[in-house]
Amino acid sequence: MSQKTLLMGRVLSFDRSPFDGDPTEAASLSEAVLVEEGKVVAMGAADDLKASHPDAAIRDVGDKLVMAGFVDPHVHYPQTAMIASWGKRLIDWLNSYTFPEEMKFTDPGYAAEIAERYLDLTAAHGTTTMCSFCTIHPESVDAFFTAARKRGQRVVAGKTCMDRNAPEGLRDTAQTAYDQSAALLEKWHGVDRLSYAITPRFSPTSTPDQLEAMGALWAEHPHCLMQTHLSEQTDEIEWVRSLFPEARDYLDTYEKFGLLGKNGVYGHVIHLEPRERDRLREVDASLIHCPTSNTFIGSGLFDMNGLMRDGHRIGLATDTGGGSSFSMLRTMAAAYEIGQLRGRPLHPAQLLWLGTVGSARSLHMDDCIGNIAPGMEADLIVVNLGSTPAIAQRTARAEDIWEAVFPTIMMGDDRAISEVWIAGRPV
């Protein structure tokens, strides 16, 4: 007989998007959630669930918050060791810090070490699923998927493809990018909880031939995600314009090679032209807000209010290591601050939804992760809403759940994450 566990606490689940109507009415609280064989079986009143499942093991976390694990839809796990590197804008930052670090991933041992370290750090912060760029080296993909599979995690990743404007040790070709990506996709996609993402880094580091090869691979595997970067910085956009003088705009450098579609996941998307916004919405592509990265590297302020109002599919991400934190709580705080600068502060319900349901939806995985509901995979976290004296004294004055959770969003870190459950097992 499989082991059932009844996790008792304040169980938060979303019934709808808090961007539609009153955000305070988008979620509900239950007293317990029943987990069996890695799935959520039921949720409801604790006494009712105990009576109907007397064989279940009881885990009572008191007044702590039980919610879905965080989903981070745009990260670079190979940048773990060089996170928080000082003082550069995007292009100089890549050349000074990122590319030298990524060249180390030709060593399978180093790749395995960083993959394990990254998954340890993110689990400590309550992140249970992420979508990661790897490096050009197939070894970096193997290392990440091997580490995640061992932990039973649902993750997405892909070999980063670059054949120009990068050091010699970090360039492949159009053909090797296609061949190696196809082989890795065949090897890993759909194994346990692993998914492959076709991954051209961004237009400046891929020739038209390579972009065309990636578009061809995506056309052969349209069920896969395709991840890249788009319109992160104004000087990057000028660079793209000089490299692709015939393109209508930045997005056109992807669109003309078959790299625009519903399963496309586009990081940053800060400085979009009206045509780009319209096309991205038309194909229902995913736009990923990376607030700590956007402020750390000086990129700009994402238009959350306008893009949500127009009906875009949006996720929230750390973008480590351009982002300065592994914490989705810190990322939510930064999104709130950028919203303030934009004149539209986000409600706590909207922030939590973005870091769970919204981000799962951006990866087309909201049918299985990102929320607590019967049949969903049991990737759960237990959040202590009084994890530090400063947070506890403010939470004590809260009059509802949103006022109680907001200090943890703004001031919380890994100390707020009391427990992490991946596939129904505490880790």
The yes-or-no verdict on residue 239 having pLDDT over 80 is: yes
Report the C-alpha gap between 173 and 129 in whole angstroms: 30
Q: Can you list the alpha helix ranges (DSSP code H) found in 84-134?
A: 90-93, 99-102, 108-124
The yes-or-no verdict on residue 259 having pLDDT over 70 is: yes
Average pLDDT of span 110-120: 98
User: What pLDDT is recorded for position 92?
Assistant: 85
The yes-or-no verdict on residue 231 having pLDDT over 90 is: yes
Interval 55-89: pLDDT, tens: 999 999 999 999 999 999 999 999 999 999 887 77
Cα separation values, 76 from 17, 67, 98, 199, 318, Å: 28, 25, 10, 11, 9
Interval 2-28: pLDDT, tens: 689 999 999 999 999 999 999 999 999
Average pLDDT of span 403-413: 98
User: Which pair of tokens denotes residue 133?
Assistant: 């760029």
Banded pLDDT at 49 (limits 50, 70, 90):
very high
* C-alpha of 294 from chain center: 15
Report the C-alpha gap between 259 and 328 in whole angstroms: 28
Banded pLDDT at 130 (limits 50, 70, 90):
very high
Average pLDDT of span 302-317: 97
Q: Provide the 3-class DSSP secondary structure of residue 364.
A: coil
Handedness of CA 45, 47, 52, 53 (dihedral sign): positive
User: Which pair of tokens denotes residue 292?
Assistant: 């700590």
Provide the phi-psi class of 300: left if phi over 0, else alpha when psi is between -120 and 50, else beta: left
Contact between 153 and 193 (Cβ < 8 Å): yes
What residues contact residue 190 under an 8 Å CB cut-off, 6+ apart?
none
The yes-or-no verdict on residue 211 having pLDDT over 80 is: yes
| Average pLDDT taken over every residue of the chain | 97
Report the C-alpha gap between 379 and 420 in whole angstroms: 8
Contact between 105 and 144 (Cβ < 8 Å): no
In the chain, pLDDT over 90 holds for what percent of residues?
95
* Domains of the chain, each with CATH number or no CATH: 4-69+371-426 (2.30.40.10), 70-362 (3.20.20.140)
What residues contact residue 249 under an 8 Å CB cut-off, 6+ apart?
273, 275, 276
User: What pLDDT is recorded for position 1?
Assistant: 47
Name the residue type at position 394. Answer: R
Task: Extract long-range pairs of 246-255: CB within 8 Å, 24+ residues apart.
Answer: 248/275, 249/273, 249/275, 249/276, 250/203, 250/276, 251/275, 251/276, 251/279, 251/280, 253/203, 253/211, 254/203, 254/211, 254/228, 254/230, 255/279
- Beta strand ranges found along 15-126 (DSSP E): 27-36, 39-44, 57-68, 70-76
DSSP 164: S
> Strands 4-14 and 27-36: what pairing?
antiparallel
**Beta-carbon count within 10 A of 345 CB:** 15
Number of helices (H), then strands (E), belonging to the chain: the values are 17, 16
Instruction: Evaluate if pTM is beyond 0.95.
Output: yes
Interval 140-187: pLDDT, tens: 999 999 999 999 999 999 999 999 999 999 999 999 999 999 999 999
Report the C-alpha gap between 77 and 321 in whole angstroms: 8
> Strands 380-383 and 57-68: what pairing?
antiparallel
Banded pLDDT at 371 (limits 50, 70, 90):
very high
User: What pLDDT is recorded for position 87?
Assistant: 74
Banded pLDDT at 95 (limits 50, 70, 90):
confident
In the chain, pLDDT over 70 holds for what percent of residues?
100
User: What pLDDT is recorded for position 89?
Assistant: 77
User: What pLDDT is recorded for position 86?
Assistant: 85
